[in-house]
Structure 1
């Protein structure tokens, strides 16, 4: 899956999420697929898996703070060992310059407010969501040879996290719902990061399990440093 979706980001314009959002916001799409826009907003903000949206994503809104709770879809492996995060919570601050998806969710969640706290649960069948996003991508980018799927949002979020020098590897793993800080290496590339309104930074992300550090990360870092030094030596004029 990862190998198929990473190249797609290279072919997409910097505003691809905004472009797809604008098309999904049109009356024709909203009437035909009423569940798509809320699910699209969650994909944009969190990069979660379609299976996690199918399980139901819980929203809490109080004043200018939106909390999104995601239940992990990959929490154990075939041998019953721990994998991923059973729960993760994202906190987003909403201001006048808030992202389109964030503003939309605030309006949606605020419709059901009790004692000053808005609540909402968003869900969408995973297969139908996949097909809807692919159809939306074809509508927006008819000349694109690579399909745009929900996992493109996940790879884009990973790319944005990798490119942000202020984001620690542990925090990036939390955002992605991983158990180990090595897993994000399978997602996205820093070179495909988007700047401007497309990037949405969370105030905080909490996970139900602590992030495990993999020695592979240290070995990879040493390899990259050694490779960079070799390139510098080769590039120096003799």
Structure 2
């Protein structure tokens, strides 16, 4: 294998290792995102697009060269080459095998380059979504705590208002009781006054009845004396 294809094969193996590290649960998306945003990679990020396009162009060139070699050595089975020597045929098959091998190496290297770029983008997006989800969760927990605090304060205010209403109602009932007691005392005094007045009237009636009885007796006695004189 020539030097350039050895380098491409080594790059392919490196890509396979990188894909396995990104796919397997080796680290969380946050750690990968922190690694992607490190100072070293941030320093290369400005020119990463250019490097990536150059790498893709190189891989495409090697892929096209492998396709050209495949097409070149795949024509050895034509009728013109049927009577070639066995060594030449084996050499042609070996070159065709190398061309096919180079085709697969360059093709997979190109494919894995695109896969790695897509995985890095998806992992970064996932890390950003996880950060947003954690921020939203913390915000929701804060809102829930605030709502609970406001609800407890509202319950306290409602309890205080109910206590104030109860105290007001008790005060009104006490005032009504005092008013009723005053009215009852007034009625009792009025009843006692009427009772005293009735007793006085009864005494006056008894005295008048006694005087009337005395007068009647006097009148009766005077009438009896006059009748005796006439006789």
When normalised by structure 1's length, the TM-score is: 0.19
Bigger fraction of residues in strand: 1
Bigger fraction of residues in helix: 2
When normalised by structure 2's length, the TM-score is: 0.20
